[in-house]
Each structure stands twice: as C-alpha cells, then as structure tokens.
Structure 1
C-alpha cells in the first residue's frame, strides 16, 4: 500500500483496525471462551485446557515458521491474510461442533475421544489463525511501519487486544447467555473473520518496498532461521524476546483461567463477568495514548518497568483481597476486583504496546516474516507450554472440590494470581539486560 495520499492512508488504517480487531476477537474467544466452554460442556478439569494451550501453541509456532518463510520468499502478505482468515473462521465454527460429540456417563474412553477432538480442533484453528494474523497481518503491518507512525502503530497493536478482550468478553457473554449457547458465539465470530478475509482479498495491498527474498532453496532458507549462533548476534532482540517469554508465562498462568475463576469460583454469570472485565479494561485502554510519545522518545525501558509494577499491583489485589466471601456476583460494583482488573489491564497494555514496537524495530529488513516466527516462540510457544506446568498443579492442589453428586471438580483460586506475581517480577532481569544492550547500541 502506498504511503502517499489520503485515500491510501485511510484504507491502510481501516484494514489495520478491521483485521486487527477481528483477529483479536477470535484470539480472545480462544483464550477465554474456549476454556469456559470446556468447563461448561466437557469437564471441569484444567488438564484439557493445559493440553489445548500446549498443542495449539505448537501448531501456531509451526505455522509461523512455515508461512513466515513462504511469505518472505514470495514477497506477498495479502494471500496469507485472506486465506488464513477465511480458514480461521471456518475452523472456529467447526470447533463448536465438538460439543455435540457424546462422551457418555463414566465412559472414560469416550471422554478421552471427545477431549482429543477438542484439542485437535483448537490446534487446527490456531494453525490457520497464525497464518493469517501472526504472520500475514503482522508482517504486513511491519512492512508499513516507519519512524513517524511507529508510536501510533504500536498503540493500535496494543489497544486492539484490549478492545478485543472487552468486546469479546462482553459480547461473548451476551451471545453465550444464561443457556450456555456457545455454538451461537462460535458461529458469529467465525463468520466475522471469514468476511474480513474476503475483504482483505480485494482491499489489501502489499507495501511497495516488499520484494521476494529468496536465499537459496526453500529448505535452506527455512532452516536458516534456526541458526542459533546468528540469532544470538542480535543481542538486544534476544533479551527483548526473553522479556516477552517471562511476562507471558506469568500472564498465561492466571489469564487462561480468569473466566473460570470468576464464573465457577466467585459465582458470576458469563455476561456479568464480561461487564466487570470490560469496565476495568476500557478505563485501562486510555493509558496507551500518553505512552505513544514516550515510545517515540525511545523511553521503552521506563514504560516496561512501569507496566510490570502496575501489573504486579493488580495481581496482588486480586490474589489477596478477592474471594467468594467479599464479592457480590449480582452487581458490577466490586471495588477490589475492578481495581485489580484495572491495574492488570494498564500493565498489560503498556507492556504489549512498548515491546511490540521495540522488537519490530530490531528485525532484519529482509527476514521480517521469519523473525515474526522467532517472536512467536517467545510470545506463544514457551509461555503456553510452560504456564500449564505451573497452573495445572496449583489448581489441582488448591482448587479441588466435590460437587453435590460426588464428582471431583478443579476450580482456579486466588493462588494462581500470587504465583503470577512471582513470575512477573522475573521480567525485570531481561529488562535490565535489554536496556544495557540498547544504550550500548545507541
């Protein structure tokens, strides 16, 4: 897309927001409603969620490396976005049909079969979602990013997950409703993503500067990204990615179970949960505006330090001061819970906004697609594989309950948020190292 002309600029920002928000709605649905879907329709057992996180993260990573290399070689992002979004929407709808599979009463083999189908459907959906969003859309954004718009682009990419969380949580709760109609939610979001894939097919243009980048055979170029020695030469980027990994290990320890914590442990309905999260995150979203200038002024280290501290305060509030005995599930007004969500939201927005721009500025120009693949290792694969190893035993230990029928259920409790704080504060170690490398480079 040309950078000149009002129509071109308007078209660029329309696609940034439409494709970005549609993608975030779909990711939010997977990260939040897929987990409550499992508890509502399959079983109240975090083990299924743990496997979903790990397998879908692996599928996402494979997809980013594969299509990152393809995208760089053919010099085209548009095709990946269009095809990826369409298939993403299709498999989102198909995921919902797993609830109609019968797993029987006490039939362990049938239950395992249904659990396998749920995990596999989630992985396939993530594979095509990564193709369209993580590689196609993100690399397309990176192709158009420059010194003038980097702050605005970073703000957009940071705010979109929050808007997606707000809209996805509130709208998701309303679509699921009191009758737990998850299929309605999956169909609506799936059709929206399919529609945006079709729009991108006709309305998106690749950057004029994007050219095919072929470095030998496909296999040679594909495996070149696994050249650890060469990657380690980008020392600042290495530490930035380590920050990303540590932060999102912490994030996935608690956020993947936040919906079930609020619904099944605190007693809120799905729609009330959405409204509480929505109010806190909507206020937090405005923190992205003043951060734009600080990012332009190269104050990324300071912003991330503030983000980590605020995020930790929010987790402490939820972990220490929110419990079934001091919340009212019938109303939004729960000061401790709202304050915790607000501080976590501000920290999350500032962190993601800042580190997104910081990392993208360090990518080699001729391998942006493949370096998005490396980013996914630290952003998705490592956190989603490691976090369940921490959260699953915590839930099994601290949240074991026996229901009225004598069945054992495992519910997420406050302990998850306190564990999240401990891991979160470890983000400060790679932050110090990244800041040192950054100052040295400057």
Structure 2
C-alpha cells in the first residue's frame, strides 16, 4: 500500500509555514556559505584562489556523502518523533552553532593552518546543513506533496529561495561593510538556530510507512544506489541528472569567485553589490515563479533549453560590462534564467523519484548537482584565475584577482548541457508520474 499523498490531500497552513520558515532560513545560510564564505577567506586569510576551490570541493563532498547517508537513514527511520523530523530539528540547531563558530578561524595567524581549519569548519557546517536541509527537509517536502502539487511546492520553495537571496545579498554586503564579518556570522548562526528550533518543533509528518520485517541492511540498500540495475530502472532520471551536472559545472567555474571579481576587478563596493544583487533577485523572481507554475503544464525540455541559452548569454554579458545598471541586467539574465532551469528540472526530478526511496535518491542528486560540479567547476575557475588573473598582494599574501574569462568559459560549458537534454526525448518532456 502506498503512503504517498493522494491528489486530494491538501497541505495544511501549518505545513506551509514550517516549509517557508525552514526553506528561507536554510537558503539564507546556503547563500552566505556559497558567496560570502569565499569572500571572507579572500579578505581575511589569503587572496590565493586555491583555498576557495579546496573549501568548495570539500564542502561539496561532505554535502553529497552526508545527503546520501542521512537521506538513506531517514528513509529507514521509525522513531516516536517521526521519520524526518529529528534530522531536521537537531540538524538546524547544530547548523546554527557551527555557523557562529566559523569566523573564529581568522584568529589563527599561520596562513597554512588557517586554510586547513577554514576548510574543516566549512565542512562541519555543511554536514549539519546537509543533514537538516538537503536530506531530511527536501525529502519531507516530497513526502507531504502529491504529484499534482509538486510544481506548486517548488514554486513556493523557490520563492523562499528568492526571499532568502534578497536578504542574504542585500543585507549581507551592507552589514559586513558596517559591522564586519564576525558579528554578521554570529547573527546568521543565531537566526538559523532559533528558526530551526521553532519550526522543527512545529513540523508534522504524514503516517510513517509500515516497517518491513524483510528490510535489507542499511549498507545493502545504500550500495544499491550504485548498481547498474538502478541506472537501467531510472534511465530518464539519470539523463536529467547528467544535464544538471553539466550546467552546474559551468556555473561553478565562476560563481565561487563572483563577488571577489566584482569587488576587486570591476571595483564596486559590498554595498553596491547588495544593491545589484537585490535587483537581480527581484527580477529573477518575476521569471522563475511563473516558470515553476508552467513547469506542470508545458514541455519542460523546451523551457529548460531556452532558459539555459538565455542564462549563458547573460553570463557572457556579465564579463563585458562594468556599470551598475548593466551589471544588474546581465546578472538578471545569468542568474534569473539559471534558477528558472533549476525550478523546472527539480520539479521534473521529484516526479521521477522512486516513492519509497526519495531521501536516498535525493542523495544521488547531490553527486550530480553538488559534488562533481563543485569539485570540477571551482578547480577550472582557479586554474583560469592563476593563468590569466591579475597578480595582487593582500594581508602580506600573494594571489590573483579574477578576470572575465571565468564567466565566458563557464557559460560555454553550461551550454553543453543541451546534449543530454536532447536525449530525454519528447515522451519524457511532459510531467511524469512518480516511479
């Protein structure tokens, strides 16, 4: 008997509130981690681009392994507190504490030791964030939504992403300019901790599936993720994941160095970036929210292809302009349509997830969406910066200022994602039922 919500099951107002609160808070934390953590390392530890690449890669590996292991574990959990809830509640609390502790690595005066510690601190924070958000929270949103509601859920979740991005981008730069990195990270960690505690306490789950007395061991089930049978049985899902992987590699070539590029090559201030970032996020919301609604009704493949081309052209344009209005326009095209691609692909992906193993397969998504792109992309970006960047010295440490080529190469790589998208075939392009 299936425990998936029926099409007549409505998501309660309480569940929408919990979903929005956890999504906004989690996305603020991830947005800061993906952008301002890198800038923090560049400004306070070393301008060498390699530590940023190492930090992003280790964080990606941690996120992927954590989501695979904890997602599979949450699929199998049967506790008095629920299936996903313990992972979400305690994960968010620890996520907040580790964020508060993160900037203390700057007190270490030996650069080589500081680099090692900042990588470890970021990985620890990522472990808790991925347990709470990537594994348990994302699986919970799939648990409570019927197939015909998932596009709407993705639209709301991505609205939360935009709200979080606006807060993170607009508030972050201004706050860092005015109070510094330390107070900013302390405040962010406190918000994650408190919201995670309150919303996690309010979270409710659908009835847990009955325990299968013949259930295989954890490691046998985990190992099944990497079998050829799994690939054959979920061919459309893996083709879609290949598309996500290639486009994400392209984005990660430039994104970790974006703020460093804008501040040091283009010459804008953190407050200027906040203004540009806020404008980009508002404009992007106007594109991606309708895109999520249309994803349930139209040809996803065509929508994703068009949005990918526009996003790549926006990335190239971003490398060619320097005035704030043009930076905002280029940033809107680059990021807004990249998020539109993500909205359609994630909605499609959740339709293809096997019903009883959503947490486990969301872990597979992390390999293609996070681990491989965040290892390969930043490494390519770092190599390009070292080969073509402008030499500089900051805090007595030698390094390089990023240059426009990272956006140009990243956009061209993203376009290669059109190849696997072509092989999805028209019959896979429309909304599909859960496997």
**What is the aligned partner in structure 2 of residue 251 from structure 1?**
251
The answer for the alignment partner of 2:27 in structure 1 is 24
In structure 1, how many angstroms separate the alpha carbons of the residues matched to 2:431 and 2:160? 31
CA contact (8 A) 1:22 1:193 kept: yes
How many Å separate the matches in 1 of 2:329 and 2:226? 43
Q: How does 1:327-346 map to 2 (within 5 A)?
A: 327=323, 334-346=324-336
Offset of 1:392 from its aligned partner? Answer: 0.7
Match of 1:205 in 2: 204
Which of the residues 381, 386, 395 maps onto 1:396? 386
| TM-score normalised over the length of structure 2 | 0.92
Please give the alpha-carbon distance, in whole angstroms, between the structure 2 residues aligned to 1:286 and 1:397.
38
Question: Residue 34 of structure 2 contacts residue 256 of structure 2 at CA under 8 Å; is this kept in 1?
Answer: yes
Runs of 5+ unmatched residues, structure 2: none
Q: Equivalent residue for 2:183?
A: 184
Once residues 441 and 148 of structure 1 are traced to their aligned partners in structure 2, the CA distance between those partners, rounded to angstroms, is: 9
SS at match of 1:230: helix
Q: CA contact under 8 A between 2:315 and 2:408: conserved in structure 1? A: yes
3-state SS of paired residue (2:391):
strand
Q: CA deviation at 1:226?
A: 2.1
C-alpha offsets along residues 215-239 of structure 1, whole Å, 9 cap, x if unaligned? 3122222222222332332111011
Alpha-carbon separation, structure 2, partners of 1:159 and 1:243: 23
Equivalent in the alignment of 2:56? 53
- CA deviations 1:69-108 (Å, max 9, x no partner) are 11011140111101111111111111111111122xxxxx
TM-score for the superposition, normalised by structure 1: 0.90
- Does the C-alpha gap of structure 1 residues 440 and 21 become closer, same or farther in structure 2, counting only changes over 3 Å? closer
CA positional deviation for 1:357: 0.7
Partner of 2:67: 64
Aligned equivalents of 1:369, 1:402: Cα separation in 2: 45
Post-superposition offset of 1:178: 4.6
Q: 1:363 to 1:405 in 2, by over 3 A?
A: closer
* Deviation for aligned residue 1:402: 3.6
Contact 1:322–1:414 (Cα < 8 Å) also in 2: no
Q: Distance in 2 between matches of 1:272 and 1:81?
A: 35
Cα gap change, 1:297 to 1:409, in 2 (>3 Å): same
For the 8 Å contact 1:285–1:345, the answer to whether it is kept is: no
What displacement does 1:408 show?
Answer: 3.3
User: C-alpha displacement at 1:409, in angstroms?
Assistant: 2.7
Among 13, 17, 29, the residue aligned to 1:14: 17
Compared with structure 1, are the counterparts of its residues 349 and 440 closer, same or farther at alpha carbon in structure 2 (3 Å cutoff)?
closer
For residues 440 and 205 of structure 1, what CA distance do their matches in structure 2 show?
Answer: 32
Root-mean-square deviation (Å):
2.3
Secondary structure class of the residue paired with 1:268: coil
Name the CA distance, whole Å, in 2 between partners of 1:370 and 1:390. Answer: 30
Matched, 1:368 2:358: yes
The answer to whether the 8 Å contact 1:69/1:369 transfers is: yes
* 1:189-229 deviation per Cα after TM superposition (whole angstroms, max 9, x unaligned): 11111112211332001123655567312222222222233
Q: Which 5+ residue runs of structure 1 have no aligned equivalent?
A: 104-110, 328-333
CA contact (8 A) 1:310 1:346 kept: no
How far apart are residue 403 of structure 1 and its match?
Answer: 4.5
Count matched residues: 423
Deviations 1:121-169 (A, max 9, x none): 0001001100000011000001112233222112123333333222101
CA distances 1:252-271 after superposition (whole Å, capped 9, x unpaired) = 11111111111111111112
Give the Cα–Cα distance (whole angstroms) in 2 for the partners of residues 95 and 55 of structure 1: 15
Deviation sequence 1:299-349 (CA, Å, 0-9, x none): 211220121011012112112x224xxx3xxxxxx2321110110122122
The answer for the alignment partner of 2:192 in structure 1 is: 193
Q: Distance in 1 between matches of 2:412 and 2:356?
A: 38
